[in-house]
Structures are given as structure tokens and as C-alpha cells.
A and B are shown apart, each in its own frame.
Chain A
Amino acid sequence: MTNTGTPLVELKDISIAFGGIKAVDHVSIDLYPGEVVGLLGHNGAGKSTLIKCLSGAYRADAGEIHINGERAEIANPRDARHYNIETIYQTLALADNLNAASNLFLGREIVGAGGFLDDSAMEAETRKIMARLNPNFRKFNVPVSALSGGQRQSVAIARAVYFNAKILIMDEPTAALGPHETQMVAELIQELKKQGIGIFLIEHDIHAVMDLCDRAVVMKNGQRVGTVNVNEVTDEDILGMIIMGKKPPQAV
């Protein structure tokens, strides 16, 4: 796949350090509409940290973020949402004591007359989107702590999808899922791609990357090893990049 035009997202020369340790060291990546870019690397390679600069959880020490070609200032998660960047965190970031609807709308509640929460409307909307994403989902009135891993994941996904995301960040979305649910996430990613949403996928599973991604960026020790078009390389090439930091000739 060749990308032309303005990228949806460009992270340019991002650096962030935690007390002398360079977690991300001058890394640049980009993402085009309707594209899935995989982020790979060992634990501690800096993938999550890099992506948290985009989702607003961290602030980069240096570097620029461009959205649709324009410089964007993302200081906190609210700013990121303003740019239609939605994140599905590895930890899911759900408030366990609240129910699905409250979690889905957390920070963006529907309010009715007098600024009071409209719980019924939020539940109705939640039922609609869950009917699309996970038709078997029934537990609308219990805290999400009572849900299974897959059900919790679908709440987290629903939250990202519901608010018309343009840029979606998925941090190991299938880590806690069974085969059936993993398949569901894969189908969802294909559907979102068709809608022109750009997706960053942080993933450990090479096969998932080969199946789902258009391009893959490999990181090691906070630095970018290289970026490859997935259909031009083999599993072994990517493994070599992850483990040994060896850049194959096709990579840029």
C-alpha cells in the first residue's frame, strides 16, 4: 500500500525521558486514513509510552504532533479527545464500580434539563452500540467488575468507537480475549478501516500484526528500528527487527 496526501497523524522526532532513562528517543511515525499501523517491540521498548504522548496521558519532552498536517498541542486526554483520538488502553481504563453506560460516557455524559445526568438516555445509547459490537452483551446494570474479560473489552471498544473516532489507538486489544472474541476484534478493525479511521495497533502477536496491519513500526530501547510494509516482509524479518534490531533492506 502506498500512501499519498496528508497523513492523518504525524509524530515527529518525539522524545520523552523518565529520570535519565530515555523511554522514547527521537522517534517519528505517521498514520494515514484507513490504515492500520502496528507498533511492535519488546516490553519496555517504548511503544506504549510513545503512543501515550498522542493520547494525552504523557507529554513529550521534545518533538511535534501533527494532525491532518496541522500542528496539534495535546497536553491531556481531553485535548486528545478534541482531535477525535480515542484510545483503548491495555488496562482498559474502566472504573470497575460503575456500569457499562457510565463507563462508556465517562467524561462525556449526556445531560438533560438543568444539567442533570440522563442515565436512561445513556443506557439506551449503550444498548444500541453494544447490540452492534457484542450482541450477546446483557449486563447493563451491574458494575463492570462483574463482567468477563471479553465483555469488559467490548465496553472499552464501544467507548472508543461510539464518539466518532478518527484516530484509534489500540494497546494490545486482544491480550485478554479468547479466540472467538479475538476474531470479533479483527472484524471490527476491518470495518473501522473501511470507514477511513486510522488505527495504531500495539501488539505482541506477530501473526495478528501480519493479518491486521498495513505497516509495522518496530521499536527497541526507545528507538525506532524501522518501518516496513507488512506484505513485503516475512515473520522472520519482523522477529529479527524486534529481537536483534536488524533492519531488513525493504524497511525505511
Chain B
Amino acid sequence: MTDTPTHAPQGNDAKLGPVARFIRDTELDTRMLGMVGALLLIWFSFHLYGALINGEGVFLTPRNLWNLSVQTSMTGIMATGMVLVIITRNIDLSVGSIVGVTGMVMGLMQVEILPQYLGLGNPATWMITVVAGLIAGTAIGAFHGWLIAYRGIPSFIVTLGGLMVWRGVAFLSAGGRTISPVDETFALLGGGPKGSIGAMGSWLVGLLGCAAILWILRSGRAARKKHGFALRPMWAEYALAAIGCGALLGAVLVVNAYPWPKGILKQMNLPEDTFVSHGFAFPVLILAVVGILMTILMTRTRFGRYVFAIGGNPEAAALSGINTRWVTLKIFALMGMLAALAAVVASARLNSATNALGDLDELYVIASAVVGGTSLAGGVGTIYGAIIGALVMQSLQTGMVLIGFGDGSYRKIVVGVALVLAVYLDNLYRKKTK
């Protein structure tokens, strides 16, 4: 949110209310504030509905929020890549099938191929497996990108074909079998009590994160000073630091408040009344790292700048000497790699690889990116928006189950309506701020 340290405050103090002034001085993205507001509204509504109608509010509990964070990871990881695809006026319908086929590649790799050479439970198994999966995903994505950029086939068609082809390949690669169980270390990447970093680890992550937030604010201010641009008032800097660190440490408190269930304690020969915190799950950490790296890529590198430029005006980008085809190919390769990473999380979490892994994911991923403010007209979108979008979509699904509408039909109706509504509200917002 403080990526572009170049916004000079404009306007007149006297006319603004305290809220407007706060937003102006902190330079927070109002669109993001709106999304966070909507997310909190959804959370409280589900909780209240549960509390009032069902007699028990279960949404805002450490357990549910922890689960929500893990469930969001898979969609979130892919949504960060879909942002780039959609910004450049393309679409990728094949991500769900890439999850399926790379999940299968990794399943076969760790269960049937590697044990022949390394034996069962070799500590290198999971690493080789993940690398193989990522290479497979990147290669598939790059191939799609090549067809789109260098052969001029519309991305909709290429990836629609990919959607069918790779699902078929996933089925054929193991003759329709389900590959299970996966390598024990690999399974940790899917989360669960053991696939989490515990209370101490979570505090460490939280404190490192806070240090990073403070450093970003400081260096942003230093850069502005160096070039003599307008600075944020000091109180706004402190407010931003407090909000950022507060949210992060709040998240640590929540994940640490969710203890291991009794069954696991027994399995680990611990007394039944021991309180062992889950802490952040590995999928959530993977999503966090992906989110940070993708944000840096989009806001701090030439590649990211070119992605936006191509989305804003492909012709201008080409006339500026940007190799638009090569950039497009790389975007799809990156999308393929992220789909493979999502497959790691998904198959590890399921503890198996099935040919149905990732089925229909493309729709949720696209919906997340779009709900998160990525414009289908191209040129506009943010990584954090897509992640919040994924969280919104997942919250709606989880919430419907928790308040007793677990039946797929209701869930689909609510998610579908929310998607259309979100894009409509976004249109209104953009018109108003233009």
C-alpha cells in the first residue's frame, strides 16, 4: 500500500472530514479499504447469523479463521498470477487442469518413481518432487504463452483447449487412479497441525513482518526526502505502522489461539490437556511469500511495469521497444508455475493426487482476481487485491457451510451473486473516482 512513494497530498484541509483527511494523509487506497470493509462485514454477518439463528456463532473463532487461511492459500497463490494475465487483457482457463496434471506428476514422482531410487521417506524426495512439479507447470504455461504470443491464437481458446487437454492427461497419466499417500515431508506443505510453525515460529514471523513494515515506511520516506517530494505527516506514518503491525500481530494471536486437537496430542503421546498452538500453516506462509514476491515483481521491476504498459496500450508498449510477445510468454509461464505451486499445497493437503484435483479452480481464481479489483478491460490490478478477493470468495463459501447452507447449490448461488455484485460496485467506484 505504500509502494508508490510519490503521491503528493492535494486538496484543501478545511473541506475534508476527519475520515477523508485520514485517508488522504495516510494515502491508503480507498478501494482496498472498501474491500477490507466488505470482508469484515461478511465475517461479522456470518458470525451474527450463527449466533442469532443457530445459537452459536462459529465464524469468528480461531479454528475457523485458521482453516479459512489455509483454504484461501491455494486460490490466492493462483490469483496473484491471474492478475498479470488479466491485466494484459488475456485469460487463463487452464489453471485448474494444470493443478490436476502437475499434482499427478508430483504424485507419481514421489510415490512411484523416486522411491525406486531413493527408497521411501528419503528427505530429498519432497524437494525433487516440488521442483519437478514446478518445472512441469512452468513448461505447460510457457507452451500456452508461446501459442498465444507467437502464434496469435487468442488466450481464451488456447487455455480452453488446455483446460480439456491437461485434465485428460491427468487422468491418463495414472490410468484414473488416485495416488496416495504422499511423502510425509511433502504432506507438511498442505498444513495441518504438523504442517504449521507453532507459537514461537509465528511470533518470529510476526516480528520479522513488523520490522519489514517499519523498514518500508522508513525507506519510502527517505526516498521522498531525497527528491524533495511532499512527505506524509509524521502521525500518518505512525498510524500506518500501527495498522500494519497491529493486523499482523493480531493474526499471530488468532492462529496461536487455535490448539492442536486431542487426537493429535494422543498420537504424539502428550497429555490431553496440553495446549499446543497451531501457528501459521505452511500454505499460508507460501501464499505470503508469493504475495510479497509478486508485489515486488509488479511494482518494482521492469517486467511488472511492462505488464501494466501492455495492458494499458499494447501498441504503445511495442512502440516503446518492449518485446510484448516475450513478456506475454513469461506471464503464462509464471501462471503455470503458480498453478503447480497451488497443486503442491492442494495435493499435500489431500495427502493424495487425484485426477480431479483443481477441478473448477479456474473459475474461483478468475473470480478472486476480478473481485480483487483486476479490470477485465486490462491495465489495472493489484496482487494484494487478488489475495483479499480470494479471501472474500473463500469466506462466502465457508460461511455458507458454517451457517447450515452447506448444500452446494446455495453456496454457488451466493458466490455467483457476490461476483457480479462486486464487479458492479467496482464499476460504480471507478466512475466516481475518475
A140 within 8 A of B: yes
Cross-chain contact of B379 among A95, A111, A115, A146 (Cβ < 8 A): A95
Q: A109-B302, A117-B305, A120-B223 are in contact. Are A77 and B318 (CB under 8 A)?
A: yes
A98 touches B318 (CB 8 A): no
Size range of the chain B interface in the assembly: 20 to 34
| A-chain residues with CB within 8 Å of residue B54 when the two chains form the complex | none
B173 within 8 A of A: no
A119 touches B316 (CB 8 A): no
Hey, what's the 0/1 contact readout for B226-247 against A, CB within 8 Å counting as 1? 1111000000000000000000
A106 touches B301 (CB 8 A): no
Closest A residue to B226 by CB, please name it: A120
A146 touches B305 (CB 8 A): no
Hey, what's the 0/1 contact readout for A110-143 against B, CB within 8 Å counting as 1? 0100011101110110000000000000001101
Q: Which of A69-89 contact B (CB under 8 A)?
A: 76-78, 81, 87, 89
A95 touches B308 (CB 8 A): yes
| A-chain residues with CB within 8 Å of residue B63 when the two chains form the complex | none
B229 touches A123 (CB 8 A): yes
A102 within 8 A of B: yes
Cross-chain contact of A93 among B227, B296, B300, B319 (Cβ < 8 A): B319
B300 touches A117 (CB 8 A): yes
> What number of residue pairs across chains A and B have CB atoms under 8 A from each other?
94
Size range of the chain A interface in the assembly: 35 or more
A140 touches B8 (CB 8 A): yes
Cross-chain contact of A97 among B7, B312, B322 (Cβ < 8 A): B312
Shortest distance between the CB of B94 and any CB in chain A (Å): 26
Closest B residue to A117 by CB, please name it: B300
A93 touches B321 (CB 8 A): no
Q: A77-B320, A111-B302 are in contact. Are A94 and B8 (CB under 8 A)?
A: no
B5 touches A120 (CB 8 A): yes
A116 touches B301 (CB 8 A): yes
In Å, the complex CA distance between A116 and B293 comes to 13
Q: Which of B281-339 contact A (CB under 8 A)?
A: 296, 299-302, 305, 308-309, 311-313, 315-322
B380 within 8 A of A: yes
The CB with the most chain A CB atoms within 10 A, among B6, B311, B313, is that of B313
A107 within 8 A of B: yes
A-B contact pairs, 29 of them (CB 8 A): A55-B319, A76-B321, A77-B319, A87-B319, A89-B319, A93-B319, A93-B320, A94-B316, A95-B309, A95-B313, A95-B316, A97-B308, A97-B313, A97-B380, A98-B305, A98-B308, A101-B6, A106-B317, A107-B320, A111-B302, A116-B300, A117-B299, A119-B6, A120-B223, A120-B224, A123-B6, A123-B227, A123-B229, A141-B6
Enumerate chain B interface residues (CB-CB to A < 8 A): 4-8, 223-224, 226-229, 296, 299-302, 305, 308-309, 311-313, 315-322, 379-380, 434
Closest 5 CB pairs of A and B: A95-B312, A97-B312, A97-B379, A107-B320, A78-B321
Q: For the A-B complex with A115-B302, A141-B4 known, give 9 more contacts whose Cβ atoms are closer than 8 Å.
A: A76-B321, A91-B315, A94-B316, A95-B311, A102-B305, A117-B299, A119-B4, A120-B6, A123-B6
